[in-house]
């Protein structure tokens, strides 16, 4: 089980209401972009991918399930992983 609390990335596929799901997740502290220390450029993640600085992968999946249920959205698949170190372009 993914119980380690750290920076996580969550990616998902849903059938409808993409903006509403993303907005609800952002209300829970998830972000769609990031910047590296010392840089001013923002890096945007793919459309249905978010990150959080202080969650476990289990908590992230549970947040997404709850948001989808509240909006009556079909959550087709999702993946949440620890992402303490990564590279982006």
Dump pLDDT digits (tens) for 1-54: 667 778 999 999 999 999 999 999 999 999 999 887 887 888 899 999 999 999
Does a structural domain hold residue 77? yes
Task: Give residue 23's domain range.
Answer: 6-82
> How many angstroms separate the CA atoms of 6 and 26, rounded?
17
- How many distinct structural domains can be found in the chain? 1
Any domain includes 1: no
Query: Does a structural domain hold residue 87?
Result: no
pTM: 0.90
**Residue 88 covered by a domain:** no
Say which CATH number the domain at 43 has: 3.30.70.2360
Instruction: Give the model confidence (pLDDT) of 53-81 as tens digits.
Output: 999 999 999 999 999 999 999 999 999 99
What residues have CB less than 8 Å from 1, skipping those under 6 apart?
58
Burial class (CB in 10 A: 0-12, 13-18, 19+), 36: exposed
């Amino acid at each position: 089980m993914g119980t380690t609390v750290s920076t996580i990335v969550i990616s998902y596929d849903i059938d409808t209401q993409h903006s509403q799901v993303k907005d609800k997740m952002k209300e829970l502290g998830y972000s769609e972009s990031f910047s590296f220390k010392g840089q001013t450029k923002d890096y945007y993640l793919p459309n249905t991918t978010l990150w959080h600085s202080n969650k476990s992968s289990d908590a992230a999946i549970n947040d997404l399930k709850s948001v989808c249920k509240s909006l009556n959205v079909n959550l087709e698949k999702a993946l949440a992983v620890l992402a303490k170190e990564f590279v982006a372009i």
